[in-house]
């Protein structure tokens, strides 16, 4: 019984002694220098640090877009380093969602079609794709905007479409890389309120890279990187969402 309880309490995400080195010999550059990070299911974590601190490299490893040179990355207790490239791709497709600063939408397709894209990769029937995509757009406040292309949407609306696309597969974790970096203050707050509600109401674990302390304040915990290391962590009182 005690062993079962311990297993249930394993972190959703666990990095142990992770080192990432790019290049070889005298040209080698160590982007991560032995990082230990744990993230529990249901957390909202902000990752901060100056350029070159290692935070983006860490996010790429967490998102299975890169692999450590040394050390361990466990997701749901599974050692990710032991997975094949195809298995890591399947993990991304089944459990992870991604939101980027640049939105990364297809310009000539509608909001609905953009949101459906991950479901196309899964081979979902068109009727299910339409239903789930409409539900995801409604969840980010874009009910009625399904047939608009990105060029017909504001920056804030485009980021909402990107978030809808990230959550349409009901991921366990949403990785957000500078999600408000291209937006003004008002639109940034709207996006952060959406991410906060998804975390609170849908139970989606959110891991967000940001340079902005005001945006990091929406998270429950902030992790600070410098020179390839975690140099500080602190919990915060979360902003109330209206």
- Short-list 219, 194, 216, 225, CA closest to 58: 225
Predicted confidence at residue 9, as pLDDT, reads 66
DSSP 238: P
Strand-strand pairing, 70-75 and 29-39: unpaired
CATH dotted code for 42-64+94-235:
3.40.50.300
Handedness of CA 202, 59, 99, 177 (dihedral sign): positive
For the chain, the structural domain boundaries read 42-64+94-235
Place of tokens 């203050």: 185
Q: Along the 242 residues of the chain, how does pLDDT read in single tens digits?
A: 334 444 456 899 999 999 999 998 888 999 999 999 999 999 999 999 999 999 999 999 999 999 999 999 999 999 998 999 999 999 999 999 999 888 999 999 999 999 999 999 888 999 999 999 999 999 999 999 999 999 999 999 999 999 999 999 999 999 999 999 989 999 999 999 999 999 999 999 999 999 999 999 999 999 999 999 999 998 876 555 55
Predicted confidence at residue 3, as pLDDT, reads 44
Query: Residue 235: phi, psi to the nearest 5?
Result: -85, 155
Give the Å distances, CA to CA, from 160 to 62, 83, 154, 229: 23, 32, 10, 32
Predicted confidence at residue 2, as pLDDT, reads 39
Model-level pTM? 0.90
Predicted confidence at residue 25, as pLDDT, reads 86
């Amino acid at each position: 019984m005690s062993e079962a309880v311990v297993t249930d309490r394993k972190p959703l995400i666990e990095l142990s002694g992770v080192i990432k080195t790019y290049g070889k010999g005298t040209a080698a550059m160590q982007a991560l220098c032995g990082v230990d990070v744990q993230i529990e299911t249901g957390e909202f974590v902000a990752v901060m640090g100056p350029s070159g601190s290692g935070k983006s490299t860490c996010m790429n490893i967490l998102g299975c877009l890169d692999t450590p040179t040394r050390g361990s990355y466990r997701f749901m207790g599974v050692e990710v380093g032991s997975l094949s490239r195809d298995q890591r791709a399947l993990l991304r497709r089944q459990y992870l969602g991604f939101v980027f600063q640049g939105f990364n939408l297809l310009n000539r397709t509608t909001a609905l079609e953009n949101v459906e894209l991950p479901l196309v990769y899964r081979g979902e029937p068109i009727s299910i794709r339409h239903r789930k995509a409409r539900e995801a757009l409604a969840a980010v406040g874009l009910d009625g905007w399904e047939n608009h292309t990105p060029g017909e949407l504001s920056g804030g609306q485009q980021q909402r479409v990107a978030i809808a696309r990230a959550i349409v597969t009901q991921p366990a974790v949403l990785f957000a890389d500078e999600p408000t970096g291209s937006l003004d203050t008002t639109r940034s707050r709207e996006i952060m309120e959406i991410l906060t509600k998804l975390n609170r109401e849908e139970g989606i674990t959110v891991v967000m890279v940001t340079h902005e302390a005001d945006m990091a304040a929406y998270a429950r915990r902030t992790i600070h990187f410098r020179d390839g290391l975690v140099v500080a962590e602190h919990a915060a009182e979360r902003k109330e969402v209206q």
